[in-house]
Chain A
Amino acid sequence: MNALRFFLEEGWASLRRNAAASVAAATALSAVLFVLLLFLLLSHNVLVLASRLEERKGLSVFLAPGVAPERVAEIEHQFRRFPEIESLRLIGKDEALRDVEADLNAEKLDEMLGGNPLPDAFLIRPIPEAMDAASLERLAREIEAYEGVEDVLYGERWVAALDRGLLVVRRGNLVVGLLAGLGIVLVLANTLRLLVLMRDDQLSVMQVIGATGAFLRAPFLAAGLILCLAGGLLSQLLLYAGFLASRGLMPGLRFLPVDWLLVFQGGVLAVGFVGSISTVEISLRRIERRGGGVGG
């Protein structure tokens, strides 16, 4: 614990010694991370919207007019044995008519139309694994082949469009995440290289008087992590400020959940740790190689 505190203090001291470069690095990091967070915020809201739409995914199976109740019960029994079907509900023609009447705010439509024209129907909700467009189409075709089934509707176009949209969002997240990771490493590499260069002379002395590699590296790793922590928190703060400011314009907008923010900050620290290790390693090896010149 003492050692950790010591290295953090040393890391903080080296950042303070080069305050201008450190502030510039933290600002650049927060700018890169802000772009990533903005994309994550967009993704989060698209996913929330998508999950609402997902709830509406399902099949409406219309039965042919005049199918006997025994056959309806038989079909229901057979559908319940489908592994892809999570639940189904039979909406009889009378219930369907009542729904239509309620929607249209009308009464006794069957009398006006000379009878109830609506068929019996099943509303089927597939399991989550079978919610994609291809699985829904396969299931619809299979159901359509049953005797007594007249039509199956599942909104092919919007399901396919939703799937495509979600794929784009996920890929976009990956690309922006990778670019942000690269950005973190580049900013850290430049800053830490500068910090190492500023202490170049002292580091070579410390090597000669017996400092271990770990002792030399640790303060710079600490400095890298402090920068990442500052950059990450600052970008979150900026995003939250932006969110509050734009909430009036986009009332449905949701902020990122806490677990997303924690994973984000953890990811930034992890990338920062790896980036810092490699930068410090390269810079220190350069000092070691340069070592001593020809002396007297």
Chain B
Amino acid sequence: MIRFEDVYKTYSSFKDDWAVAGLTLAIEPGEMVFLLGASGAGKTTVLKMVTLEERPSRGRVLVAGYDSDTIGRREIPQLRRRCGVVFQDFRLMRDKTIFENVAYCLRMTGVLDRTLITRAVSRVLHRVGLYGKRDRFPRELSGGEQQRAAISRALIHQPPILLADEPTGNLDAVTGKEILDILAQLHVSGTTIVIATHDENLAQRYATRTLTLQEGRIVEDMFLRPHGTEIY
């Protein structure tokens, strides 16, 4: 599903200043992988290379049949629709309601039929328990609710892969657990999930596998439980 082949990434012009250095890994369908490591370890860079928001400086990344070496500019949006993305700071559109935030993602793929949009958006909002607050604006919701809205936005294309960058970073422990419970449910229903976090306790509780990064390299790769098992 996701493969990194000897991938290097640098943001600077200095020699040997790698954000990711010689990363080789394979994530199979249905895994729930936690990327662990301190700030600057390369977790976010790895996630950004999955969506090709960042291109590898060397090596190649293969995601859901797309190859970073050969993918065309016009194919990148298609790749990204196969990867739902959840951010630490939610990144919802402030001037749109929760319903409109999610619907906007459908519209950008050319779905403009109101009935179809209402049906699809209602489905994902029910799934994260936010249907009752569909007409609220992001500022009217708590952090946890905003993150649930962001998850529903990520799910609208029914992506086989879901990437989350510190999804609980802005939330208290209880709300963070609620969010991870939702992600774990998605994992059980077959979505491959990759979460970047520095919270090892959460990883121990939810992950099927943990990858620990340090200075852009994997220093530990642990399989905690067979993927597909119910873990919460």
Residue numbers of A with Cβ under 8 A of B are 2-3, 6, 13, 17, 201-202, 205-213, 215, 291-296
Contact = CB atoms under 8 A, between A and B. Distances in A.
B37 A209 contact: no
Given A292-B44, A296-B40, A296-B198, A210 B93 contact: no
Which range contains the number of B residues in contact with the other chain? 35 or more
Contact of A292 (B38, B39, B54, B104): B54
A215 B105 CA distance: 11
Contacts of B196: 296
Nearest to B159: A210
Contact of B44 (A3, A205, A206, A296): A296
B148 interface: no
Contacts of B78: 210
Given A208-B53, A291-B53, A296 B41 contact: yes
22 contacts: A2-B112, A2-B113, A6-B112, A17-B95, A205-B91, A209-B153, A210-B77, A210-B78, A210-B80, A210-B81, A210-B109, A210-B157, A215-B108, A292-B45, A292-B53, A294-B11, A294-B19, A295-B165, A296-B40, A296-B41, A296-B43, A296-B166
A296 B88 CA distance: 12
Interface string B19-39: 100000000000000000111
A13 B54 contact: no
A3 B54 contact: no
A294 B40 contact: yes
Contacts of A292: 44-45, 48, 53-54
Contact of A296 (B11, B37, B77): B37
Q: Classify the secondary structure of A's interface with B.
A: helix
Contacts, number: 76
A1 to B, nearest CB: 9
Contacts of A211: 77, 108
B95 A13 contact: yes
Q: Which of A17, A213, A291, A294 has the most CB of B within 10 A?
A: A294
Per CB-CB distance, the 4 closest pairs between chain A and chain B, nearest first, are A295-B44, A210-B80, A210-B81, A2-B112
Nearest to A218: B108
A191 B14 CA distance: 38
Nearest to A17: B95
Contacts of A294: 11, 19, 40, 44-45
Contacts of B19: 294
Interface string B97-124: 0000000110111101100000000000
A3 B53 contact: no
B147 interface: no
